Homo-oligomer: A and B are copies of this chain.
Amino acid sequence: MSNAAPRPADPEHLWSVEEHLEDILATVRPLDPIELNLLDAQGCVLVEDVTVAVSLPPFDNSSMDGYAVRVADVAGASEEFPAVLEVVGDIAAGGPGSLRVGPGQAARIMTGAPLPPGAEAVVPVEWTDGGLGGGPVTRMPAHSLAPEAAGGQVQVHRAAAARAHVRAEGSDVRAGDRALDAGTVLGPPQIALLAAIGRGTVRVRPRPRVVVLSTGSELVQPDEALADGQIYDSNSFALTACARDAGAIAYRVGAVPDDAETLRSTIEDQLVRADLMVTTGGVSVGAYDVVKEALAHVGDEDEPGGGVEFRKLAMQPGKPQGFGSVGPDHTPLLALPGNPVSSYVSFELFVRPAIRTLMGLDDVHRPRIQATLVTDTALTSPKGRRQFLRGTVADGSVRPVGGAGSHLVAALAQADALIVVPEDVESVEPGTEVEVVLLG
Contact = CB atoms under 8 A, between A and B. Distances in A.
A286 B226 contact: no
Interface string A214-250: 0011111111101011111111111111101100000
Contact of A112 (B142, B231, B240): B231
Interface string A76-111: 000000000000001011111100000000001011
A188 B65 contact: no
B293 A144 contact: yes
A231 B237 CA distance: 45
B194 A222 contact: yes
A405 B167 contact: yes
A225 to B, nearest CB: 9
Interface in A250-298: 252, 257-258, 260, 284-289, 292-293
Contacts of A412: 189, 192-193
A258 B93 contact: yes
Interface string A54-70: 10111100010100000
Contacts of A9: none
Contacts of A65: 284-287, 289
A51 interface: no
A171 B95 CA distance: 72
Contacts of A230: 58, 94
Contacts of A394: none
A231 to B, nearest CB: 6
A196 B94 contact: no
B196 A234 contact: yes
A237 B191 contact: yes
A177 B258 CA distance: 31
A123 interface: no
A344 interface: yes
B167 A407 contact: yes
Nearest to A187: B440
A407 B172 contact: yes
Nearest to A215: B93
A197 interface: yes
Interface string A180-195: 1000000111111111
Given A39-B241, A92-B217, A111-B286, 16 more contacts: A38-B237, A54-B226, A93-B217, A93-B288, A96-B229, A111-B284, A112-B218, A139-B285, A142-B293, A167-B407, A177-B410, A188-B238, A189-B415, A191-B241, A192-B237, A195-B237
Interface of A: 12, 38-39, 42, 54, 56-59, 63, 65, 90, 92-97, 108, 110-114, 125-126, 138-144, 146, 149-150, 167, 171-173, 177, 179-180, 187-201, 216-224, 226, 228-242, 244-245, 252, 257-258, 260, 284-289, 292-293, 338-340, 344, 405-410, 412-413, 415, 439-440
18 contacts: A56-B231, A57-B407, A58-B231, A90-B287, A111-B286, A114-B229, A140-B286, A143-B288, A167-B405, A187-B440, A188-B440, A191-B241, A192-B340, A193-B409, A195-B232, A195-B234, A198-B232, A199-B223
